[in-house]
Amino acid sequence: MQRVGTTVRFHGKRLVNMDPFVLVLYAFAVGLTACGLAGSAMELLSGRRLAFAEPYVSPVHILRSLAATACAGPFMLTNEALAARREGRIGTMALLSCGCTAIAWALALGVVLIAIASWATANLGSFQFAG
């Protein structure tokens, strides 16, 4: 029993509306993809592991550091947490906390990127091009 033209699915005894879940999952995927692409590009360009340290984060270049941290922050946090766990500096609960923070950060990054893309595409028609 599935309704045509809706995202309501029949699962056992219940009908489940999947719209909110799909939107959250999409925003998370966008954020995770952007974070991974930015982090991998930064690692390839610098030749060093991504971390909250030089050359990625510097008190001399604050705007560059903010941009790098905003885009690749979840990747940086995950790398730092896994390195700290391997060295025994943090426990399992701290590692889980860092993982949850990275997930929330990737979701927030995805929401911001979708909002920017939506704003940019809405304003495309307002530009006047001389022909």
| Residue of 74, 64, 65, 81 whose CA lies nearest to 40 | 74
Average pLDDT of the segment spanning 27-42: 94
Which has more confidence, 85 or 68? 85
pLDDT confidence of residue 1: 47
| Residue of 7, 25, 26 whose CA lies nearest to 15 | 7
Residue 111 scores a pLDDT above 70 = yes
Average pLDDT of the segment spanning 44-49: 90
pLDDT confidence tier of residue 20, bands split at 50, 70 and 90: confident
Cα radius of gyration rounded to whole Å, the chain = 20
What pTM value is reported for the model?
0.77
Locus of tokens 């699962």: 11
Residue 54 scores a pLDDT above 80 = yes
CB atoms closer than 10 angstroms to residue 101: 15
Q: What is the mean pLDDT of the chain?
A: 85
